[in-house]
Amino acid sequence: MSKTNPGNYFEDFNVGQILRHATPRTVSVGDASLYTALYGSRFAVQSSDAFAQGLGYERSPIDDFLVFHIVFGKTVPDISLNAVANLGYAGCRFLAPVYPGDSLSASSEVIGLKENSNGKTGVVYVRSTGVNQDGITVLDYVRWVMVRKKDPSTPTGHNNVPSLPAALEAASLGDAVPILNKDAFDWDLSGSVHMWDDYEVGETIDHVDGMTVEEAEHQMATRLYQNTAKVHFNQFTEGQGRFGRRLIYGGHVISLARALSFNGLGNAFHVAAINGGRHVAPLFAGNTVFAWSEVIDKAELPGREDVGALRLRMFATKDQPCGELPGKGEEGYDASVILDLDVWVLLPRG
């Protein structure tokens, strides 16, 4: 028996199965600094302990997407090593702040299995959960991936598709944010005067700036997340593959778009939920990423006067500034679009 990890095939999964993932990870200020260096994020809550403490945090929490990427990375060796495609995610909630020094581990429950009609692959649905050293859940989300079967000739009969929410309810948001001491929110230091009240449903925001990605950057990011997906690191193999080059981790695009979104959404300090997302096209080193957002919903949080939620549809493009809001029309996506992301973000209320 080989001691290397062959990954799981479709037949290896069963509904109800729990997979406890390696490798647990203590998140540190070192990770936070690298995250800043990789994306240039400028949200004040995550940047300054003094700012965060003034609002009621213990200190600056770790960036939400850094938490997401670390938890996601752990699931790869067990869930998606033999994946043909990452099909989607849904229902991702950030449930508790993560601080430097917290140790995260992850597990996944198989919540659905559906064999494809060709017999070669099937779709695996998992709910993945990240917990800290005290057993508190900091994050959970569903994702589904198309996974190879070991034996195309033997049907599994699996035909179990879970029902998934199109979007999380506003009432379920905000657990990772303490009740804010709103008077301490300094609109100069935060970099924007626009509070939750100022945004309207239907409003669109071009985030203006562009960021070119280098191979060393996305490789360092993806290794920081201990994500082992081979397509990101191995030019020898990828050079002979479909694209002729390394594919950039989709989460790298998400973090770039989020960092760019500071310009126009500077007070959207917390990503409370990812309702869903689609990596429309691959990103490669040398491409320049741009982003724009549309406010598609707006909600108060029950019992909270301090923060409100905006639901954003955030598009990222490559080599195409977003002044004309390239998105999805009747004929499908604009050729420049690489990401179509649906998130709830929180902002202070006036």
d(CA 339, CA 250): 8
300 vs 319 by CB, closer to its own copies: 319
The H or E element that residue 140 is part of is strand 137-148
**Strand intervals (E) in 227-329:** 270-279, 288-300, 307-318, 328-329
36 lies in the binding site for its own copies (CB under 8 A): yes
18, β-bridge pairs = 109
d(CA 40, CA 51): 18
Q: Work out how close the CB of 309 gets to its own copies at its nearest, in angstroms, rounded to a whole number.
A: 17
Q: Cβ contacts of residue 265 below 8 Å, gap of 6+?
A: 192, 194, 205, 207, 293, 312, 345, 347
Burial track 120-156 (b if 16+ CB lie within 10 A, e otherwise): ebbbbbbbbbbbbeeeeebbbbbbbbbbbbeeeeeeb
Enter the tokens of residue 11: 């037949």
> Which of 235, 243, 324, 335 forms a contact with its own copies (CB under 8 A)?
235
154 vs 237 by CB, closer to its own copies: 237
> Which of 13, 38, 345, 346 forms a contact with its own copies (CB under 8 A)?
38
Q: What is the amino acid identity at position 196?
A: W
17 lies in the binding site for its own copies (CB under 8 A): no
Site for its own copies in 236-255 (CB under 8 A): 236-237, 246
164 vs 231 by CB, closer to its own copies: 231
14 lies in the binding site for its own copies (CB under 8 A): no
d(CA 323, CA 2): 53
Q: Cβ contacts of residue 116 below 8 Å, gap of 6+?
A: 122, 123, 146
Site for its own copies in 78-137 (CB under 8 A): 100-101, 103, 105, 133
> Which of 8, 80, 192, 255 forms a contact with its own copies (CB under 8 A)?
192
123 vs 192 by CB, closer to its own copies: 192
230 lies in the binding site for its own copies (CB under 8 A): yes
4 vs 118 by CB, closer to its own copies: 4
Q: Work out how close the CB of 186 gets to its own copies at its nearest, in angstroms, rounded to a whole number.
A: 8
Site for its own copies in 254-313 (CB under 8 A): 263-266, 286, 288, 290
Q: Work out how close the CB of 244 gets to its own copies at its nearest, in angstroms, rounded to a whole number.
A: 13
Q: What is the amino acid identity at position 332?
A: G
d(CA 64, CA 124): 25
Q: Which backbone phi and psi does 108 adopt, to 5 degrees?
A: -135, 140
8 lies in the binding site for its own copies (CB under 8 A): no
Q: Which backbone phi and psi does 55 adopt, to 5 degrees?
A: -85, -20
3-state secondary structure of 347: strand
> Which of 11, 294, 297, 319 forms a contact with its own copies (CB under 8 A)?
319
Site string for its own copies, 155-184 (x = CB under 8 A): ------------------------------
* Contact range with its own copies by CB under 8 A, out of 157-165, 187-195, 273-281, 301-309: 187-195
1 vs 166 by CB, closer to its own copies: 1
> Which of 138, 142, 221, 253 forms a contact with its own copies (CB under 8 A)?
221
Task: Report which of 145, 58, 136 is spatially closest to residue 104, judged by C-alpha positions.
Answer: 136
2 vs 163 by CB, closer to its own copies: 2
> Which of 10, 13, 32, 280 forms a contact with its own copies (CB under 8 A)?
32
